[in-house]
Amino acid sequence: MQDWNVVISVRGEGYQRARRLMKEFGNVSRSQFLNVLVMKVDSIEQFMDRLQERIMADPSITDCLGHVMPAAITFVFESSEEFENRLCGVVVPWIPSLANKTFHVRMHRRGFKGVLSSQREEQFLDHFLMERLAEAGTPGEISFDDPDMIVAVETVSDQAGLSLWSRKELMRYSFLHID
């Protein structure tokens, strides 16, 4: 098991450059998946701000970075049932942030092929959140067209990481590329 709170997918032949770059921000490790790195940073907010500053100073950095996704919460799971139970527990505190807003869930799965389906898990979590929002009297709406919020789910083997992003954050951090 690796200790991470950031997943990085690498574009094309940029693996070595991406790995060198990311080492400036935290402890970077290879994953078992092609062109996927994982990293542990002390402060997600500082990491994001520093990376965005670097990209603004040198836009060519994005030539090697396909998708950089910090995770506010991570957990380990052994089955699809455990994955879904843990997912639900993690997102409950986010329900007030989704109240009366448009949102959707986006999942990037690496591993557990045939056990987890990104599309199915996205729909499962969308449904769970919509039910809880309705129960709270603060209904939300699923939208893929400029939503107020996006719930991002990343898996790397038997580990998952989740984060919640506002429209403002998605616009501020050009490297997120959630959809």
pLDDT digits (tens, 9 = 90+) for 85-109: 999 999 999 999 999 999 999 999 9
Write down the residue that tokens 């448009």 correspond to: 102
Q: What's the whole-number mean pLDDT along residues 105-130? A: 94
Q: What is the pTM of this model?
A: 0.93
Q: How confident is the model at residue 154 (pLDDT cuts 50, 70, 90)?
A: very high
Contact 162, 152 (CB under 8 A): yes
Q: 73-171 architecture in CATH? A: 2-Layer Sandwich (3.30)
H or E stretch covering 19: helix 15-23
Rounded (10°) angle between helices 118-135 and 80-91: 40
H or E stretch covering 12: none
Query: For residues 117-127, b (16+ Cβ closer than 10 Å) or e, as one string?
Result: eeeebbebbbe
Residues belonging to the chain: 179
CA dihedral sign, ordered 46, 41, 53, 70: negative
pLDDT digits (tens, 9 = 90+) for 20-75: 999 999 999 999 999 999 999 999 999 999 999 999 999 999 999 998 999 999 99
